[in-house]
Amino acid sequence: MGKRRIGILTGGGDCPGLNAVIRGVTKTAITKYGLEVIGFYDGFQGLIENRFTLLNYETVSGILTQGGTILGTSNKANPFEHFIMENDKQIVKDVSKNTMELYHDLGLDALITVGGDGTMTISGMLGKIGANVVGVPKTIDKDLMETDTTFGFDTARNIATEAIDRLHSTAQSHHRVMIVEVMGRNAGWLALESGIAGGGDVILLPEIPYDINEIIQVVRQRSRFGKRFSIVVVAEGARPEGGEQVVKKVVHDSPEKIRLGGIGHTIAAQIEDATRIECRVTILGHLQRGGTPTPLDRILATQFAVKATELVMENQFNKMVALKGNQITAVPMEKVMGKQKLVPVDSDLIQAGLAVGTHFGKKLQ
């Protein structure tokens, strides 16, 4: 009988710490359990298109500190909704049966999937049709349910906070309003935590629709009482009361068709028109995803990787690794599928912000 074999893929958007997970799973599987590890290229796309490689010590040597993922990723691939061209028309097909055939042909005992809410939802669906799946939570948005945090978030928060810090000096020098647009489609954790850490005067979250008149009033009051600059931190998914999110473009062959971006420019134009104070917009975009992961993210990613491999050996499948307090544990995948952890309006962080004078785009109790 041959060696037991597991697979691993990284799905969704890239983020710092993915390589640490690949390294952690591969080294734990080989050293502690004598397993073979198959890496699938470009997330679920590799599973769909039969693209994979055997991972070994040499493959994962030296990747702990690297951002991104050596396996590549895709935020479009979904075996249950695969876009193909047929007779010059784009159609959607369910190719999950084909992916399961490859899963069995490779003799996989389990598949470790590393990703966010979309990846966990697809993973749970694969579990329901026969795959032994273990999920590892990754996202810079920290919006996955059932885990206190995800790896990738700390690095993104550091990057966003450093950007806000740097913009403070030029805002003060030129007496401008600096608007920093960070990622966060539906969940505002990144804007909230980097905004508080960076001393943002106004923080706008998807969970709290804003009143532009309130924002304008904050800027005017600061200017009137000698604060001749303001810092506004805005999540890309923020929207005005009664209004819509700002859509940058629509990607039709993606499960997440809407791409957000540009809310910072909208707010800047409105503030300038009302106050005649010059505004500048910085959109951090993919800078938040790139670069070397922080020590915290490297450690958390490694702990998640070791736990995921342990779950495989214990035959605990269709579960996601999670951080609860100081404990690395596991939760049923079904509790994560199709859900997002949003910022509660009464969260302690928002209350702390209010206490030090931070405004959240509307009056809060």
CB 210 within 8 A of CB 188: no
- Per the structure block, which two tokens stand in for 234? 């805005």
- Residue spans per domain, the chain: 5-151+293-335, 157-288
Side-chain-side CA neighbours of residue 93 (13 Å) = 12
The kind and range of the H/E element at 315 are none
Q: Which of 229, 274, 244, 252 is nearest to 90 (CA)?
A: 252
Pick the CATH number of 157-288 from 3.30.70.2390, 3.40.640.10, 3.40.50.460, 3.30.70.260: 3.40.50.460
Rounded to whole angstroms, the Cα distance separating 145 from 331 reads 10
Could you please report the per-residue DSSP string of 255-324? Answer: SS-EEE--HHHHHHHHHHHHH---EEEEE-GGGGT-SPPPHHHHHHHHHHHHHHHHHHHTT--SEEEEEE
Bridge partner residues of 138 (DSSP): 151
How is residue 294 annotated by DSSP? P
Q: Is 157-288 in the same CATH topology as 5-151+293-335?
A: yes
**Annotated catalytic, 141?**
yes
pLDDT tens, position by position, for the chain (365 residues)?
467 999 999 999 889 999 999 999 999 999 999 999 999 999 999 999 999 999 999 999 999 999 999 999 998 899 999 888 787 888 889 999 999 999 999 999 999 999 999 999 999 999 999 999 999 999 999 999 999 999 999 999 999 999 999 998 887 777 789 999 999 999 999 999 999 999 999 999 999 999 999 999 999 998 887 677 899 999 999 999 999 988 877 776 666 667 778 899 999 999 999 999 999 999 998 898 888 999 999 999 999 999 999 999 999 999 999 999 999 999 999 999 999 999 999 999 999 999 999 999 998 86
Q: Which residues contact 58 (CB under 8 A, 6 or more apart)?
A: none
Query: Catalytic one among 117, 141, 143, 201?
Result: 141
Q: What is the dotted CATH code of the domain comprising 5-151+293-335?
A: 3.40.50.450
Give the integer Cα–Cα distance in Å for 299 and 289.
Answer: 18
Amino acid 287 reads L
Q: In one letter, which amino acid is 298? A: R
